[in-house]
Amino acid sequence: MAPHDAVLGWNEDTTAEAYAAFTRDFPMYSATSRDLAQRARLTDSRLVLDLCGGAGTTAAAILELAPLQARVISLDNAAAMQRAGKRTMTDPRLTWITAPAEDLAAHVPSPADAVVCNSAIWKTDVPAVFAAVHQVLRSGGRFVFNIGGGFAGVSHPDETGRTGPSLNTLIRQIAARDYGYTPPRPGADTPPKLPLEAVTKHLSAAGMTVLETEIVAQHSTMAEKKAWLTIPVFARPDGGDFTHEQRMDILNKAYALTTPDTATTTSWLVVVAQRPREGR
């Protein structure tokens, strides 16, 4: 079963506003968005799709790198997220479309030079989305996306070298102590949800080729991690009959056991794929 934030809560204004505030106050999403946009090679692009674009952080990075004549479509299934983005993003080159990622081919008017998706592929029907991306990309167009290390089953050396308990570990401990929470016990052989082998297989089935992959590290602090976990869809622990207020109580108690500027690291698998050029 996917975590509770996979499908629920994204179309709620409380989540959308908290998420948009986080992207303004902390660099995680803007940094990962710039990385993906740079890998998409947007120098000569005219149409770029921001897939599962949320409140528009990735669209903003694309607009910074794409030429002035380029248009950007930000497609997301959550109207609340897009409403939050529209309040601060008024670039006339940006179009917002509310639709599922799987339906993107029905909403893209002409071949796209690139499709970029930041941290959301795992929430979709991956084979269907990859097929739709292939359909909308021009010959030679790039598809660039990332997958959280936990879902991809990868870890950057910077993350594996961490000392001390993570904030998530402390949250589970506080929840068990104060609320009788029993965390799920996954089997030792539980496979990752979206490893590179599966990604490559799905891309190949969709008619695309992998150009490059890289495991990258995103560095932040306990303060940023705590702010991220206050967003309702990300609040922990998973499972259990907790209200949001109870999760925030657990988070605050766990955070009190940390130092705000302690460095934290998350791992990401970055994939750059391409619709093959015609004749090859």
* pLDDT at res. 4: 41
Is pLDDT at 1 greater than 60 in this prediction?
no
- The CATH number assigned to the domain holding 68 equals 3.40.50.150
Model confidence pLDDT, tens digit, residues 241-280 = 899 999 999 999 999 999 999 999 999 999 999 999 986 5
* Three-class secondary structure of residue 263 per DSSP: strand
Give the confidence band of 239 by pLDDT, cuts at 50, 70, 90. confident
Beta strands in the chain (DSSP E): 47-51, 71-76, 94-98, 112-117, 137-148, 209-221, 263-274
> What is the pLDDT of the chain when averaged over all its residues?
92
Q: Is residue 3 part of a domain?
A: no
Residues contacting 157, CB < 8 A, separation 6+? 217
Number of domains in the chain: 1
**Residue 52 structural domain:** 13-160+187-220+265-274
Q: Is residue 168 part of a domain?
A: no
Q: Is residue 243 part of a domain?
A: no
* pLDDT at res. 147: 98
Q: Is residue 232 part of a domain?
A: no
Model confidence pLDDT, tens digit, residues 37-68 = 999 999 999 999 999 999 999 999 999 999 99
Q: Is residue 1 part of a domain?
A: no
Q: Is residue 172 part of a domain?
A: no
Q: Is residue 117 part of a domain?
A: yes
Q: What is the pTM of this model?
A: 0.93
Q: How far are the Cα atoms of 75, 206, 266 from residue 144, in angstroms, in the given order?
A: 15, 15, 19
Q: Is residue 171 part of a domain?
A: no
Per-residue pLDDT, averaged over 172-191, amounts to: 83
